Amino acid sequence: MHWKKGRGKLGLFDPLIGSWICNEDSSDRMNPQCIRSFRYDLGNNYIIEDVTWFLGDKQYKDHTIIGLNQEKQICFWSFTSDGKNSSGLLADVRDIHPQAFGFEAKMPAGIARQVFWPSEKEGFNWAVESKTKKGWNRFVLQTYQKTNTSLL
């Protein structure tokens, strides 16, 4: 996979621009199909990430805006179909992979992070982890491939 950063502060997200799918043929709620779409918007000052999880006959949606806050730090603001929201800051997550990037967020249950890094095949990996006294506890890992299916 071409995992090359683009220009500007948000250029590190360039490898993700487009539409991606994981578990394409799955109908298993424990390993659900998921589509993630990333695009630049508002004069390329923000990246919009739209996510749909297919959970049997239901869908769970996430609309995330990635951009710079007032302190010029890269951050995200996420809004979900269950009415919840979260925000976080870009964090050093290279303990997972030298080319990884991701965010940390303070959640009601503690600190969590989401991480993106190139997969060994075409596409990228995405993980969510919670911080524990012993380190990071991974509870979601998915591998995405390009798709023509779009949420845009």
Please write the tens of the pLDDT for every residue from 58-116. Answer: 999 999 999 999 999 999 999 999 999 999 999 999 999 999 999 999 998 899 999 99
User: b/e per residue, 125-150, with b = 16+ CB within 10 A?
Assistant: bbbbbeeeeeebeeeeebbbeebeee
- Which residues lie closer than 8 Å to 96 by C-beta, 6 or more apart? 102, 115, 117, 127
User: Taking the chain, what is the end-to-end CA distance rounded to the nearest angstrom?
Assistant: 22
Print the domain residue range for 84: 9-146
Domain membership of residue 3 (yes or no) is no
Domain membership of residue 4 (yes or no) is no
Domain membership of residue 38 (yes or no) is yes
Q: Among all chains, which residue has been given the structure tokens 């009415």?
A: 83
Domain membership of residue 152 (yes or no) is no
Domain membership of residue 91 (yes or no) is yes
Residues 38-42, mean pLDDT to the nearest whole number: 96
Domain membership of residue 1 (yes or no) is no
CA–CA dist 74, 52 (Å, integer): 23
pTM metric for this prediction: 0.90
Residue 31 has a pLDDT of 73
Residue 79 has a pLDDT of 96
Residues 46-59, mean pLDDT to the nearest whole number: 93
In the chain, how many domains are there? 1
CA 33 vs CA 13, 25, 29, 111: distances in Å: 22, 7, 8, 26
Domain membership of residue 101 (yes or no) is yes
Helix (DSSP H) and strand (DSSP E) numbers for the chain: 0, 10
Residue 27 has a pLDDT of 64
- Model confidence at 28: pLDDT above 70: no
Residue 62 has a pLDDT of 97
Domain membership of residue 21 (yes or no) is yes
Write out the two tokens for 51. 């996510």
pLDDT range class, residue 152, cuts 50, 70, 90: very low
Q: What is the CATH number of the domain that holds 108?
A: 2.40.128.20
CA–CA dist 131, 112 (Å, integer): 6
